[in-house]
């Protein structure tokens, strides 16, 4: 049964990378990667440091645009639309593909304003936004901790709370995809466990792509896993298959801890 | 081994005391100045002193016109220099390409900040007073002062903007913000405490300057209040200069009293800077 799942996409893809290559100047960081991200599930990207996984993730919402030395080739389709086609506004893309960063980066504003800012600047805010704030914070599992101090500075929250606020801020925009770039690497084990639970819960409603160099984390939260090595996509399949019966020798070496 | 630790600790102590000594010396000079001013000028201070125009009789002389002139001048200077200063800093930090032309421009701005104020006075005299025919008016004075403090405002604002972490910009961009929305909605508010501090400190420089205004021809005897920016004016430092250069001892006392008022104004401005800073830092980075 697992063998079947390796080859079959369990859900129609929301994001499709086709022959995607990224260069920093002359250095190739991502080498013609093709990958489908299934709807309402967690796709993990693992691999040793410098394998291009974070660079790849940032191509998915065009966050590499800010680095002038980065050149991207290939195509990324989000719901059938190539986000690298000419005439596409990267701003629009980022509106529907949210991102959570390595280090929590809440705005130096109140908790409520953190949630509402994205909606406000995009003209997506109806009414005073109390509902969105409550819904997003509830989905991010933060509501009970902060409901009495929504107007306090977000910077007074603990690191784990700040990261959940960043997740709430991303999902407040009702994105098609949420990209997470090692969201737990700056957090303690307890906060990490909370975020992982949260990712599992969110996966029922959101499409999530998570980069991690914690293999156990990938095993715990994801349905499908992609293994990157030296800029190439070495193996991609169901998480269970990747961790129990890797086909590629490199994958096996990495997940058994002999490399990386 | 033990000996060298002892020696190092002793040297550490000597250094600390040296620093203390230097600080105390600076404070001592300041205290001496203040003491001298109070002894000379304090008995001239009164409500009448604030409420009278200058006069050739010391007992009837006051700083009303200078005080109002200072208020007018700082207000107009703030209006001219603040928006232009911030806009320049934002452009240089957030939009300008990082190339030779712009590093040259930025280097020149730093140079301008160190330019003697009298040079700005000459510039003001040539450009505003003569070329634009603005005469010895508040227009000329405040425009000259704006030029004088603009480099400092730009440099302070640039520093404040640069101190805003990139993670904040990325967070904003990741929500689909356009560059101007990131700047207006996130970067500027985060940098505002630093910008305002730099601005108020620059303003206190403008309030304390006399040389450029004497250069453009501000008078030290003005027996009326300016009704509009095109009127002639005087300011506290110019009034002080005027009184201090008179031979009569009593006018020196008046100058001392005016200096005390000026110091009070500067103190209030700096206090304002601290309060503004704390208020805006409620959401500290």
Task: Report the gap between the CA of B272 and the closest CA in chain A (Å).
Answer: 23
CA angle B72, B75, B77 (to 5 degrees): 105
Of B171, B186, B283, the CB nearest to A101: B171
CB A210 within 8 A of CB A44: yes
Strand partners, A15: A37, A78
pLDDT tens by residue, B7-35: 999 999 999 999 999 999 999 999 999 99
Query: If you measure CA to CA, which chain B residue comes closest to A153?
Result: B283
Per-residue confidence (pLDDT) for residue A80, from 0 to 100: 84
For chain A, list the domains and their CATH numbers: 2-104+179-255 (3.40.50.300)
Contact residues, chain B to chain A, C-beta under 8 Å: 165, 167-168, 170-178, 181, 185-186, 189-190, 282-285
Task: Report the gap between the CA of B107 and the closest CA in chain A (Å).
Answer: 24
- Statement: residue B220 has pLDDT above 80: no
Output the average pLDDT for chain B.
Answer: 91
Whether residue A66 and residue B170 make contact (CB cut-off 8 A), yes or no, is yes
pLDDT tens by residue, B111-140: 999 999 999 999 999 999 999 999 889 999
Whether residue A101 and residue B174 make contact (CB cut-off 8 A), yes or no, is yes
Tens digit of each residue's pLDDT, chain A (260 residues): 344 444 444 556 889 999 999 999 999 999 999 999 999 999 999 999 889 999 999 999 999 998 889 999 999 999 888 999 988 899 999 999 999 999 999 999 999 999 999 999 999 988 888 999 999 999 999 999 999 999 999 999 999 999 999 999 999 999 999 999 999 998 899 899 999 999 999 999 999 999 998 889 999 999 999 999 999 999 999 999 999 999 999 999 998 888 77
Measured between beta carbons, the chain A residues lying within 8 angstroms of B165 are 105
Q: CA-to-CA distance for B233 and B250, rounded, in angstroms?
A: 24
Going edge to edge, which strands form the sheet with A232-238?
Answer: A97-100, A177-181, A207-211, A42-46, A224-229, A232-238
Whether residue A105 and residue B190 make contact (CB cut-off 8 A), yes or no, is no
- Statement: residue B104 has pLDDT above 90: yes
Measured between beta carbons, the chain A residues lying within 8 angstroms of B190 are 108
pLDDT tens by residue, B174-204: 999 999 999 999 999 999 988 998 999 899 9
CB A209 within 8 A of CB A177: yes
Measured between beta carbons, the chain A residues lying within 8 angstroms of B172 are 107, 117
Is the backbone of residue A257 left (phi > 0), alpha (psi -120 to 50) or beta?
left
Whether residue A101 and residue B189 make contact (CB cut-off 8 A), yes or no, is no
Whether residue B285 and residue A108 make contact (CB cut-off 8 A), yes or no, is yes
Per-residue confidence (pLDDT) for residue A11, from 0 to 100: 56
Of A94, A106, A107, the CB nearest to B173: A94
Whether residue A105 and residue B181 make contact (CB cut-off 8 A), yes or no, is no
Output the average pLDDT for chain A.
Answer: 90
Whether residue A94 and residue B282 make contact (CB cut-off 8 A), yes or no, is no
Whether residue B167 and residue A103 make contact (CB cut-off 8 A), yes or no, is yes
Q: CA-to-CA distance for B49 and B258, rounded, in angstroms?
A: 9
Nearest residue to B89 (alpha-carbon basis) of B150, B158, B151: B158
CB A168 within 8 A of CB A137: yes
* pLDDT interval class at B2 (50, 70, 90): low
CA angle A194, A195, A197 (to 5 degrees): 65
- Statement: residue B102 has pLDDT above 80: yes
């Amino acid at each position: 049964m697992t063998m079947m799942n390796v080859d079959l996409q369990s859900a129609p893809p929301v994001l499709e990378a086709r022959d995607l290559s990224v260069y920093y100047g002359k250095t190739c960081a991502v080498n013609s990667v093709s990958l489908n991200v299934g709807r309402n599930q967690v796709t993990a990207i693992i691999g040793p440091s410098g394998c291009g996984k974070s660079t790849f993730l940032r191509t998915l919402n065009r966050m590499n645009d800010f680095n002038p030395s980065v050149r991207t080739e290939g195509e990324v389709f989000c719901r059938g639309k190539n986000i690298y086609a000419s005439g596409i506004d990267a701003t629009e893309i980022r509106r529907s593909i949210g991102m959570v960063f390595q280090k929590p980066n809440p705005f130096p504003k109140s908790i409520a304003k953190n949630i509402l800012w994205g909606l406000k600047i995009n003209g997506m805010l109806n009414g005073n936004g109390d509902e969105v704030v409550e819904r997003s914070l509830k989905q991010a599992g933060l509501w009970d901790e902060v409901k009495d101090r929504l107007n306090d500075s977000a910077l007074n929250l603990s690191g784990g709370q700040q990261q959940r606020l960043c997740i709430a801020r991303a999902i407040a925009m009702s994105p098609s995809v949420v990209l997470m770039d090692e969201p737990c690497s700056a957090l303690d084990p307890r906060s990490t466990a909370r975020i992982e639970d949260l990712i599992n819960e969110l996966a029922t409603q959101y499409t999530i792509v998570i980069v991690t160099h914690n293999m156990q984390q990938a095993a715990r939260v994801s349905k499908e896993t992609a293994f990157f090595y030296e800029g190439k996509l070495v193996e991609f399949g169901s998480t269970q298959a990747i961790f129990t019966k890797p086909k590629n020798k490199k994958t096996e070496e990495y997940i058994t801890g002999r490399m990386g | 081994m033990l000996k060298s630790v002892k020696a190092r600790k002793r040297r550490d102590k000597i250094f600390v005391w040296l620093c203390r000594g230097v600080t105390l010396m600076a404070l001592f000079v300041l205290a001496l100045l203040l003491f001298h001013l109070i002894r000379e000028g304090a008995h001239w201070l009164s409500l009448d002193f604030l409420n009278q125009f200058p006069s050739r009789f010391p007992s009837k002389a006051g700083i009303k016109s200078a005080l109002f002139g200072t208020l007018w001048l700082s207000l107009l200077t703030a209006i001219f220099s603040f928006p232009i200063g911030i806009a320049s800093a934002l452009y240089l930090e957030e939009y300008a390409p990082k190339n030779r032309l712009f590093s040259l421009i930025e280097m020149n701005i730093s140079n301008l900040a160190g330019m003697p104020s009298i040079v700005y006075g000459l510039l003001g005299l040539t450009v505003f007073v003569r070329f634009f025919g603005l005469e010895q008016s508040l227009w000329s004075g405040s425009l000259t002062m704006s030029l004088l403090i603009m480099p400092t405002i730009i440099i302070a604002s640039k520093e404040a903007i640069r101190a805003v972490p990139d993670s904040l910009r990325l967070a904003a961009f990741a929500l689909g913000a356009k560059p101007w929305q990131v700047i207006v909605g996130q970067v500027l508010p985060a940098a505002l405490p630093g910008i305002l501090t730099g601005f108020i400190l620059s303003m206190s420089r403008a309030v304390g300057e006399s040389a450029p205004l004497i250069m453009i021809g501000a008078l030290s005897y003005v027996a009326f209040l300016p009704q509009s920016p095109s009127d002639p004016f005087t300011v506290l430092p110019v009034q002080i200069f005027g009184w201090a250069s008179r031979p009569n001892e009593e006018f020196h006392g008046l100058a001392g009293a005016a200096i005390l008022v000026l110091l009070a104004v500067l103190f209030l401005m700096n206090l304002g800077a601290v309060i503004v800073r704390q208020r805006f830092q409620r959401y500290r980075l």
